[in-house]
Amino acid sequence: MASEKLLKELNDHFNFELLSAYHYMAMAAYCSSENMNGFAHYFVEQAKEEYEHGMKFYQFINDMGGRVIPRAIEEPKNDYSSFLEVFKEALDHEEQVTVKIYELLDLAREENNYPTIQFLQWFVEEQLEEENSMKDIIFVLEGIDGNFQGLYLLDKELGSRQ
């Protein structure tokens, strides 16, 4: 079992993962509107991943005897003026998720809630990967500096993401 407080925080995080999916959907839509279908594909895949992360929390909350309460999802950022801005926003969002995972872990530790500590380990690694892949793309985009040929090649590469 978990405390009411821990269950509430887990539920909040379930909702935050869905908000992440919503942010990535908006980023995908922006990239599509700019005819960069590889970038758009990358963010659609990212949105699917965030939904899956949310569902990991959904399953875990059930397993811990809690009940998932889906909350209203706020409007994501929909106005972008460059791909660099999109990826910087994505990195910023991932950093917020990482902080939330660490805070959850701190709470689970305070309560000696071993199943939750164990459950969150996967997310600690996942966040490190997510932040690093965003940083890699930002590094490339800064090098490309708006050059069409560079953007075209990166679009092809991101379009091949599984």
Binding site for Fe ion (CB under 5 A): 17, 50, 53, 130
Q: Which is nearer to Fe ion, 17 or 155 (CB)?
A: 17
Helix, strand, coil fractions of the chain, as percent rounded to 5: 80, 0, 20
Q: Which is nearer to Fe ion, 55 or 144 (CB)?
A: 55
Contact 62/52 with Cβ under 8 angstroms? no
Q: Which is nearer to Fe ion, 50 or 155 (CB)?
A: 50
| Spacing of C-alpha 8 from chain mean position | 20
For the chain, the C-alpha Rg in angstroms (whole number) is 17
Least Å distance, CB 62 to Fe ion, is 19
Least Å distance, CB 149 to Fe ion, is 29
Give ∠ CA 91-97-101 in degrees, rounded to 5. Answer: 140
Q: Which is nearer to Fe ion, 41 or 53 (CB)?
A: 53
Nearest to 90 by CA among 134, 52, 50, 133: 134
Least Å distance, CB 43 to Fe ion, is 11
Q: SS3 of 113, please? A: coil
Least Å distance, CB 152 to Fe ion, is 26
